[in-house]
């Protein structure tokens, strides 16, 4: 069972969770997108059960320097999970390259695979995939658009911005 709450803090945001933790944090998605991503899940409206997690997710987006410790329910391959753990080590306001992430997980030749693992992250911001850039410092890609990625990075570095 997946509880879902759609909110609009500074940007339209969807938060979905199982009884274990948040399984999806995305921008500008709706229930249809959730059903596509989790076809075997029973999607139900949140009855308040995940309210504290939703509040924490909103705070993570609005005040990333004070990232709350929220339970996550994400699963991937061993490599994806290693990459996601490495992403969580990147401090707010800093970035790492895809090559640095690949090297940090012991697979320096797997730069593209690190990028794919980054893109497979279901919980934007909570696993900060937006903090990964190309080796030349350019933004690279982001599922929710480069403008949003830039704004998230600016917010983390103390630049005033609206998401």
Residues 6+ apart with CB under 8 A from 71: 20, 21, 22, 53
Phi-psi bin for 106: left (phi > 0), alpha (psi -120 to 50), beta?
left
The pLDDT, as a whole number, for residue 45 is 80
> How much is the pTM?
0.86
- Tens digit of each residue's pLDDT (9 = 90 or more) over 90-149: 999 899 999 999 999 999 999 999 999 999 999 999 999 999 999 999 999 999 999 999
- Residue among 42, 41, 57 at smallest CA distance from 7: 57
* Closest to 73 in 3D by CA, of 123, 31, 10: 123
| Residue from 60, 61, 129, 132 carrying the catalytic annotation | 129
Tell me, yes or no, if 23 is annotated catalytic.
no
Look at residue 8 and tell me whether its pLDDT is greater than 50. no
Domains of the chain: 2-66 (no CATH), 78-156 (1.10.10.10)
Please provide the distance, in angstroms rounded to a whole number, between the alpha carbons at the two ends of the chain: 30
């Amino acid at each position: 069972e997946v509880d879902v709450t759609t909110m609009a803090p500074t940007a339209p945001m969807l938060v979905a969770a199982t009884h274990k933790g948040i399984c999806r944090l995305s921008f500008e998605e709706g229930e249809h997108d959730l059903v596509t991503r989790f076809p075997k899940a029973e999607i139900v409206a949140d009855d308040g059960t995940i309210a504290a997690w939703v509040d924490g997710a909103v705070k993570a987006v609005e005040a990333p320097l004070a990232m709350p410790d929220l339970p996550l329910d994400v699963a991937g391959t061993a490599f994806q999970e290693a990459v996601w753990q490495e992403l969580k080590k990147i401090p707010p306001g800093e970035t790492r390259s895809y090559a640095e992430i690949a090297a940090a997980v012991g697979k320096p030749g797997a730069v593209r695979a690190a990028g794919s693992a980054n893109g497979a992250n279901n919980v934007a911001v909570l696993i900060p995939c937006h903090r990964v850039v190309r080796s030349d410092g350019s933004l690279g890609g982001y599922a929710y658009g480069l403008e949003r990625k830039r704004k998230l990075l600016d917010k983390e570095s103390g630049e005033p911005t609206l998401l």
